[in-house]
Structure 1
Amino acid sequence: MTMAAAIESRTADASARSNSSRISAVDIFDDFGQSETLWRSLEDQQHLSTPYQRFDFLRPWQQAVGVREGLQPLVVVAYDHDRVPLLLLPLAIRQIWGARIAQFMGGKHATFNMGLWNREFAEVASRADLEVVFAAIREQSGADVAAFQQQPLAWHGLPNPMALLPHQTSTNDCPVMTFAPDAPASGRVSHSLRRRLKAKENKLKALPGYRYFVATADRDIQRLLDAFFRIKPQRMAEQKLPNVFAEPGVEDFVRAACMTPLTGGGRAIEMHALESDSEVIAIFAGVADGQRFSMMFNTYTVSASSRFSPGLILIRHIVDHYAERGYRSLDLGVGSDSYKKLFCKANDPIFDCFVPLSARGAAVAAVLSAANRTKRLVKRSPALLRLAQRMRHVSR
């Protein structure tokens, strides 16, 4: 069933209540096919969004993962009086504790969650505009809560309008590095770190066929994916961590997104690697939008070559690759792993919003908010984190 019916009259009532909303109509779609043309039109440089909200990233995620998790697509589009799209929210409905939760698509595989905003509208959007959108979500979908997690406070220098809502700091930070235009290589990675990595890489260069490359051909992408799904479970087992890539549908999603070509070149997920003639040594993959590269997943060999820090060497290659192509920043995904701090000297602020849309939703929003605050507290307490890790290992 489709919900793609405009709600001009209801939205007009909401606008009248808030007096200053620029939004005159909202459409809600529960089908990717109906929203594709509009969605793609909001992905150019005149709009503000992260590459995690691309149609070519989220469609394979929903088809492979979302469907298996019982999620129902909820694509929300807001327009001005001339029917110019101002905002698209790529959401899905999840059932939790008998409540309908509206959340961003992408789940744990999207580092950042954000709407696709008309850039001019994003600069002036108000709380009243957001209230109109949430009223439409409540009326048309029956959602009880909007749980919008891991949102960047700003993207490419523009504030995220969702920060106008009551919000809290996300569980994890995201280490980020920025590139100054025309800065020397040492301005990206220090001389001392480059020197150490060069010495290690010289050992790898002795291997026949050693090279760094970005996979562009289908056969290379497939080969790297085969290696990744062979090596990653071994690495996760060594660390006594659950293998999220073994969850239903995840491998299908990753393979589909890595193979999906983008209109402007590249793939929905780009893959970088170090390899020799005999093995894939290290793999890093992520999303890019011409200004920022964002890491998604990685692994490295279990062979003797691992002692030469191939993961760090590969990151250094990736940093130089994007900086030399005019990118302004790079992140290594959320989390406080020590290797990230070798390259990223700052953290991107990330926040969560839990907006109740019904009486039932108020209680659920309070529980979700408290749970995330607790997770952040545990992450920042070494003693609590060690206790949580021991409990997790005991329960396995």
Structure 2
Amino acid sequence: MQADQALPVSDIQVYTSYQAAEERWRAFEQGALATPYQRYDWVEAWYRHVGANRGLEPLVVAAAAGGDGTVALWPLVVRSFGPIRVASWPGGKFANYNLGLYDRKMAPALDEPALNAILDRLRDAGRVDALSLRNQPEVWQGIRNPLLNLPNQPSPSFGYSLALRPDFKALYAELRSGSTRKKLRRSENRIESEYGSCTLRHVETREEVDRIIDAFIEQKAERMRERSLPNVFAVPGVMDLFRELAVRGLGTREPLLDLYWLDAGGQVAATWAGTAAGGRLCGIFNSFDMGDLAQHQPGEVLLRDLLESCCARGLTDFDLGVGEASYKDSWCPRTDRLFDSFLPLSAAGRLHSAAAMSTYRLKRAAKQSKFLGDIANRLRLNRISLVD
């Protein structure tokens, strides 16, 4: 079948546990279009440490197309709002880019009728009333997201990424002015002078994983207290998840969690962690020392050295996740357009989808208005959530 022809999907299977879909999922992800966050090992670990504790139910839907085999596989979690069952992508706040797994050649042929057949199966076999699918890239690795063929709206935020190339020196000169590069060199020299060394390091042992994770926990907690913000990393199970992913990633080519730190004479000056697949390293969390080291921009020094390492390794893309921050603009000038899909599958799901659409439209507007932004910040500080 040609990819530009309509695709009549068939044999749509719904699995009510990740383990039931594991064999098919693992085989498909090897060549599928997907982000690092939709790998079986990443999702299964997140669910075990975080999703299950929140009372979420695992759900997977997979579709074939005649003799072409699996063409789409969506890992989901279901949350109940009273009698209404709403499915969303797994990973929560820690999965920056959300995308199902798709056959690369057949993805362009997944038109509205094909997708609606999958949705009907989710409603009937998965008992899903609505889908709440957030932060989906419009394009991933040059391929248009099939879910753009269904009703959607822009996400409140963008993703921030960078196309890498082997010549880091030229890339760095494009990213930062000569005066900014000199300033960062001075910061590095001061760290070396005052602390004895300033070196980017990559975790290689279980002991290093524990040390850097512990340093991150302490640094991030202090940063959140300083800014009077809730610390999502303090939620039970979250750091156990990242500890496990980092250990399982030791010595692998595409780690589930790739963990780095800036070593300042034996002190952990800054940390950075991401997940890698398909030549792209996706950032998940970072931190920096809030003491005397903070004046020397250890987080900036780490990012510069990390990008140089990524270029040397032959990676093609790098990102700093979703959400606005000045450091993201300066290191990752490419904005990845994201969209949300709030899709009712039953009469009961219509009210939830309508509320979700309105809430996230308001959130998007708030990011462009200081007055509304202040309201959004107060809601966040009070941990008020209208929808998941």
Task: Tell which deviates more after alignment, 239-248 or 213-222.
Answer: 213-222
Task: Tell which deviates more after alignment, 294-303 or 184-193.
Answer: 184-193
Q: What is the correspondence of 1:48-59 to structure 2 with a 5 Å cutoff?
A: 48-59=33-44
| Residues 285, 148 of structure 1: alpha-carbon distance in 2 compared, 3 angstrom cutoff | same
Is the Cα–Cα contact under 8 Å of residues 25 and 79 in structure 1 kept in the other structure?
yes
Three-state SS of the structure 2 residue aligned to 1:101 is: strand
2:74 and 2:166 mapped to 1: Cα distance? 32
| Residues 178, 357 of structure 1: alpha-carbon distance in 2 compared, 3 angstrom cutoff | same
The residue that corresponds to 2:97 in the other structure is 112
Q: What is the correspondence of 1:232-251 to structure 2 with a 5 Å cutoff?
A: 232-251=220-239
The residue that corresponds to 2:373 in the other structure is 385
1:392 Cα offset (Å): 5.3
The residue that corresponds to 1:319 in the other structure is 307
2:37 and 2:382 mapped to 1: Cα distance? 35
* One-letter amino acid of the structure 2 residue matched with residue 62 of structure 1: Y
1:187 Cα offset (Å): 4.8
Three-state SS of the structure 2 residue aligned to 1:242 is: coil
2:110 and 2:380 mapped to 1: Cα distance? 43
The residue that corresponds to 1:35 in the other structure is 21
1:147 and 1:315 mapped to 2: Cα distance? 33
| Residues 74, 188 of structure 1: alpha-carbon distance in 2 compared, 3 angstrom cutoff | farther
- 1:70 aligns with one of 52, 55, 58: 55
1:365 and 1:341 mapped to 2: Cα distance? 32
Three-state SS of the structure 1 residue aligned to 2:272 is: strand
1:291 and 1:115 mapped to 2: Cα distance? 18
1:362 and 1:393 mapped to 2: Cα distance? 29
Is the Cα–Cα contact under 8 Å of residues 263 and 269 in structure 2 kept in the other structure?
yes
- 1:304 aligns with one of 272, 276, 292: 292
Task: Tell which deviates more after alignment, 234-243 or 327-336.
Answer: 327-336
TM-score, normalising length: structure 2: 0.91
Is the Cα–Cα contact under 8 Å of residues 257 and 274 in structure 2 kept in the other structure?
yes
The residue that corresponds to 1:140 in the other structure is 125
1:131 to 2:106 alignment: no
Task: Tell which deviates more after alignment, 211-220 or 134-143.
Answer: 211-220
The residue that corresponds to 1:166 in the other structure is 151
1:117 Cα offset (Å): 0.7
Task: Tell which deviates more after alignment, 327-336 or 54-63.
Answer: 327-336
The residue that corresponds to 2:175 in the other structure is 189
1:292 and 1:79 mapped to 2: Cα distance? 28
1:228 and 1:127 mapped to 2: Cα distance? 44
1:24 to 2:10 alignment: yes
1:301 and 1:264 mapped to 2: Cα distance? 28
1:339 and 1:375 mapped to 2: Cα distance? 22
Q: What is the correspondence of 1:243-282 to structure 2 with a 5 Å cutoff?
A: 243-261=231-249, 265-282=253-270
The residue that corresponds to 2:207 in the other structure is 219
1:60 to 2:48 alignment: no
1:391 and 1:20 mapped to 2: Cα distance? 45
Question: How big is each residue's C-alpha offset from its partner over 1:69-105, in whole Å with a ceiling of 9 and x where there is no partner?
Answer: 1111001111122371111101011012431001111
- 1:210 aligns with one of 198, 202, 209: 198
| Residues 188, 219 of structure 1: alpha-carbon distance in 2 compared, 3 angstrom cutoff | farther
2:145 and 2:259 mapped to 1: Cα distance? 28
1:340 Cα offset (Å): 1.2
Question: How big is each residue's C-alpha offset from its partner over 1:317-355, in whole Å with a ceiling of 9 and x where there is no partner?
Answer: 121111222222221111111111111223100000011
2:203 and 2:369 mapped to 1: Cα distance? 40
Query: Number of residues paired by the alignment?
Result: 377
Runs of 4+ in structure 1 deviating by more than 4 angstroms, as ranges, are: 180-183, 390-396
1:200 to 2:177 alignment: no
* One-letter amino acid of the structure 2 residue matched with residue 177 of structure 1: L
1:115 and 1:395 mapped to 2: Cα distance? 29
Three-state SS of the structure 1 residue aligned to 2:350 is: helix
| Residues 74, 393 of structure 1: alpha-carbon distance in 2 compared, 3 angstrom cutoff | closer
- 2:280 aligns with one of 288, 292, 303: 292
1:263 and 1:123 mapped to 2: Cα distance? 36
Task: Tell which deviates more after alignment, 137-146 or 256-265.
Answer: 256-265
2:181 and 2:278 mapped to 1: Cα distance? 25
Is the Cα–Cα contact under 8 Å of residues 189 and 316 in structure 1 kept in the other structure?
no
What's the C-alpha RMSD, in Å, of the aligned pairs? 2.1
2:252 and 2:61 mapped to 1: Cα distance? 25
